[in-house]
A and B are shown apart, each in its own frame.
Chain A
Amino acid sequence: MPFYKKRFDELGLKPAHVKSVEDLKNLPFTTKQDLRDHYPFGLFTTPMDQVVRIHSSSGTTGKPTVVGYTAHDMGVWKEVMARTMSMMNVGPGDVVHNAYGYGLFTGGLGFHYGAEEVGAAVVPSSGGFTKRQLLLMKDFGATVLCSTPSFALHLAEVAKDEGYDLKKDFKIRAGFFGAEPASEGLRNALRDAWGLVYIEAYGLSEIIGPGVASGCPYGNLHVFEDHFIPEVIDTETGEVLPDGQEGELVFTTVTKQALPIIRYRTKDITVLHREPCKCGRTITIMESVKGRADDMLIVNGVNVFPSQVEHVLTKLEGITPNYVIVLDKKGVLDKLEVWVEVDDRTFADGIGALETLKTKLQQEMLNELYINVRVKLVEPKTLERSMGKAKRIIDKREAEGLKS
């Protein structure tokens, strides 16, 4: 029996019971596990001869999740990506340097279609080859950069090392950044380095890919809710929470054909607001994702999101936003260590300045996280750089089967 028919019947629901958006709360949830259980095409609602595109997750944490698009769905995707691009009036005359990965990951192709749809010229550079990317950005006169925030920061660092003057040699006026959380400090570092307007891009392949929500020039993240209806729920009870209250984000797609999804639990933690924005939009605003329920670390019984660590790091002078969180066990207790790169100037200041900075950071961590954190300051440019999504956490407890 088809998946949703079975779920609806179990709850005694018929389509006629759904009259308004208010009724959404009575419908069953869909989870990533449901997609995995029906691998590869079990949740598709069109015959395969109508499917024109298939994307898939890497499957590193389980069976891959597979998503499909009809020609109509591709039209929806292009539209929402064009709407993302239009947040900064990207159009003819713009050169969009797209450093998101192309391939099964939806990031690269999503931004590609959006930029083409608004009439801009796209440079499909994908990830890696940093020095060549900088050369192309300069020589082609890129005006828009699309990438993960961590890769954009890496590009800026390498550009400085290569002797470029970022503000004179490049014309980047807008950056569309997503696929990983970024603290306000990291955003400011990118604004300062490139002199760009930071636009946050939010999406997930299960819903459509990038283009589920987009930042506006006023910094608010707007959900394209004429296609994807958002709700925030209590992670434990599944109850819908009122606007302004933090919980797990859930989406229902209402225009997709190949893979419509009812109440998909994203595991992303956020807050919704429905007040009009200064940009003129009345569509729902979602706060930047605080973290994924999956990414939340439990350290000696305290919940810690990597974004909280990043928030502290980017508040202080003398350090860079490059860091790694290392979790280990000391006896029965968890031990949280943060390795962070100092900048060149602080490193040259000597041991005394480094010790003062370390003490200050540890105190700030305690104030923010309510747990003791050991900070290890490392030399500039010694931590591994990301060409895509940044890997920020090393959990040695997992290897020992000791994760809390």
Chain B
Amino acid sequence: MWNPIESAPREELEQLQAKRLRDTVERVYHLVLTWCRFTRKGLMSLG
């Protein structure tokens, strides 16, 4: 198996998913604003 997570106990997988989900939500909610505010390209892409 290329990655052992594929056969890990469900609890372990779900903990990993939860952490990654929180990071992703933070990313789409906050980080976008950060780079939009401080980069000219970001502002331009938002029109």
Contacts and interface: CB of A to CB of B under 8 A. Distances in A.
A135 interface: no
Given A45-B27, A45-B32, A47-B35, A21 B41 contact: no
Given A20-B18, A229-B21, A282-B8, A82 B2 contact: yes
A24 B25 CA distance: 10
A222 B8 CA distance: 14
A257 B31 CA distance: 11
Contact of B6 (A18, A21, A222): A222
Contacts of A252: 21, 24
A47 B46 CA distance: 12
A83 interface: yes
B17 A226 contact: yes
A33 to B, nearest CB: 18
A245 interface: no
Given A8-B29, A281-B1, A254 B9 contact: no
Given A42-B45, A48-B41, A226-B13, A260 B3 contact: no
A262 B25 contact: yes
B1 A15 contact: no
Nearest to B10: A282
Interface residues of B, number: 35
A44 interface: yes
A49 interface: yes
Interface residues of A, number: 45
Contacts of B16: 226
A282 B14 CA distance: 11
Given A8-B29, A48-B45, A254 B1 contact: no
Contacts of B3: 79, 83, 226
Contact of A83 (B6, B14, B39): B6
A24 B41 CA distance: 31
Contacts of A15: 22, 25-26, 29-30
Interface in A79-122: 79, 82-83, 86, 118
Contacts of B33: 2, 5
A41 B36 CA distance: 13
Interface string A10-27: 000011001111011001
Interface of B: 1-3, 5-10, 13-14, 16-18, 20-33, 35-36, 39, 41-42, 45-46
Interface of A: 2-5, 8, 14-15, 18-21, 23-24, 27, 41-42, 44-49, 79, 82-83, 86, 118, 222, 224-226, 229, 252-257, 260, 262, 274, 280-283
Rank and list the top 8 A-B pairs by shortest CB-CB distance, nearest first.
A254-B20, A4-B28, A86-B2, A2-B32, A83-B2, A20-B18, A15-B25, A281-B6
